[in-house]
Amino acid sequence: MKERIERLKKLTYIPQNEIAWLIEQAELSVKQQGIIEENKRQQDITVHQFRQAQKDIQHLSGQSSRYKQALEKIITNLNFAITVAQNELEGDVK
């Protein structure tokens, strides 16, 4: 292709079939540019979605950690309440 373009540059008269080939190549180039731009747009969307998913995962991980801590406190308080209740029952039994 490069050789053909160089040969055409040297001509003073360009035959019709060569002009048709040049037009075809130009149209192909425009289509390829459109495809490249669409792929870039899709890539940008994918990157944005990935970053948003990372943020969501970090947020949910933080929430999970807070829920776990709260649950551990509840369990500790329940264990304490059970121990107190057992002590009171043992005191009533004696």
pLDDT at 40: 96
pLDDT at 94: 58
Nearest to 24 by CA among 12, 34, 36, 16: 16
At which residue do the structure tokens 């731009």 appear? 37
pLDDT tens-digit readout, 2-60: 887 787 778 778 888 888 898 899 999 999 999 999 999 999 999 999 999 999 998 88
Q: For the chain, what is the largest distance between any 2 Cα atoms, rounded to a whole number of angstroms? A: 119
Q: What is the pTM of this model?
A: 0.55
Q: Greater confidence, 92 or 77? A: 77
pLDDT at 9: 78
Alpha-carbon distance values, 25 to 1, 35, 36 (Å): 10, 15, 16
Judged by phi (left if over 0) then psi (alpha if -120 to 50, else beta), residue 15 lies in: beta
